[in-house]
């Protein structure tokens, strides 16, 4: 994938591709483990919370609200119902802090998006809670650069196929850029389109892909947004 000059539509993931997100969850999990420290050790709390989140994705989806409900459910289970109303309130307050956190763009994002918007059709494809994602896109200061925004419950081969069909996008002239191999990169490659991986400094455990799963895929990986625009212009 040496040249991207033929690409007409560039799609970006949002969280941890355009702005910081996973770090907020990490900080909140640390607060949560401290809150429940009197009931269990940190490793066990983290393990049980992950299991609860995994079970609940089909019910609550991705994002802060689903994460919060999973934290509350896990707290009730781990405390055997002894968790207090005041402690539940603290968990809810953790969530409110996350939802009102300022949007912090990653290095090079603002300049890259502005530059590419002058020559290409840009779009966002992100998963998560509709209200939260719309709010973050609006507050990011980038919304006016994107002609299309798709907020989905999941990112897989079928979802991407439907998005391309909906917007009548030729997959040969499309590229997806994101930080998550499992949801941003591999599904796109499987449907025959191009993808560029820009890793974030931390990866949610559900998005980790084993190295041996990548050996049959060909994609470009960059260290950051700086220099991305030059691939297309």
Interval 104-122: pLDDT, tens = 999 999 999 999 999 999 9
In a domain, 67, yes or no: yes
* Span 223-232, average pLDDT: 92
Nearest 5°: CA angle at 103, between 186 and 175? Answer: 25
Bridge-based pairing state of the strands 174-178 and 194-197? parallel
- Mean pLDDT of the residues in the chain: 92
> With 70 as the cut, is the pLDDT of residue 186 above it?
yes
- Pair (63, 123) in one structural domain: no
- Which residue in 79, 83, 75, 102 sits closest to 19, CA to CA? 102
pLDDT of res. 205: 65
User: Between the CA of residue 96 and those of 65, 85, 210, what are the distances in Å?
Assistant: 9, 17, 34
Residue 209 lies in a domain: yes
Q: Which token pair is 82?
A: 């002894």
Same domain, 68 and 119: no
For the sheet containing 174-178, what is the strand order?
148-152, 121-127, 9-12, 174-178, 194-197, 220-221
Tell me: do 14 and 62 sit in the same domain: no
Mean pLDDT confidence for 162-189 = 96
Angle, vertex CA 158, rays to CA 154 and CA 159, nearest 5: 40
Spatial separation of the C-alpha atoms in residues 95 and 89, rounded to whole Å: 10
Mean pLDDT of 57-71: 90
Residues of the chain with pLDDT > 70, as a percent, come to 96
Decide if 6 contacts 120 (C-beta within 8 A).
Answer: no
What is the per-residue pLDDT across 80-102, written as a single tens digit (0 to 9) for each? Answer: 999 999 999 999 999 999 998 99
C-alpha 97: how far from chain center: 18
Over residues 110-158, the pLDDT tens digits come to: 999 999 999 999 999 999 889 899 999 999 999 999 999 999 999 999 9
- Asked if residue 2 is part of any domain, the answer here is no
Q: Which of 1-5, 28-32, 74-78, 198-202 has the lowest mean pLDDT?
A: 1-5
Distances in Å between the alpha carbon of 41 and those of 45, 68, 154? 6, 20, 32
pLDDT at 1: 46
Tell whether 77 and 136 lie within a shared domain: no
Which of 74, 99, 124 is a domain's end point?
99
Range of the domain at 160: 9-19+104-231
Is the pLDDT at 2 greater than 60, yes or no? no
| Among 90-104, 106-120, 165-179, 200-214, the least confident range | 200-214
pLDDT-above-90 percentage for the chain: 78
193 and 215 part of one domain = yes
In total, how many domains does the chain have? 2
Tokens of 99: 């939802």
Cα(119)–Cα(134) distance, integer angstroms: 25
Neighbours of 32 (CB within 10 A): 23
């Amino acid at each position: 994938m040496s040249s991207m000059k033929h690409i007409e539509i560039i799609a970006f993931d949002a969280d941890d591709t355009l702005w910081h997100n996973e770090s907020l969850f990490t900080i909140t999990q640390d607060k949560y483990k401290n809150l429940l420290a009197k009931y269990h050790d940190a490793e066990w709390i983290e393990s049980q919370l992950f299991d609860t989140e995994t079970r609940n994705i089909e019910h609550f989806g991705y994002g802060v609200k689903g994460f919060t409900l999973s934290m509350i459910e896990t707290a009730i289970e781990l405390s055997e119902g002894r968790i207090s109303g005041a402690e539940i309130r603290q968990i809810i307050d953790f969530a409110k802090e996350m939802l009102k956190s300022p949007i912090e763009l990653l290095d090079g994002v603002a300049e890259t998006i502005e530059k590419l918007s002058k020559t290409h059709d840009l779009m966002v494809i992100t998963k998560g809670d509709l209200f939260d994602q719309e709010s973050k896109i609006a507050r990011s200061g980038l919304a006016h650069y994107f002609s299309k925004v798709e907020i989905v419950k999941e990112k897989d081969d079928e979802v991407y196929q439907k998005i391309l069909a909906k917007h009548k996008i030729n997959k040969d002239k499309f590229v997806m850029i994101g930080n998550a191999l499992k949801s941003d990169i591999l599904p796109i490659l499987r449907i025959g389109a191009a993808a560029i991986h820009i890793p974030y400094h931390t990866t949610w455990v559900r998005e980790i892909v084993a190295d041996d799963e990548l050996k049959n895929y060909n994609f470009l990986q960059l260290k950051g947004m700086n220099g991305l625009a030059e691939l297309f212009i």
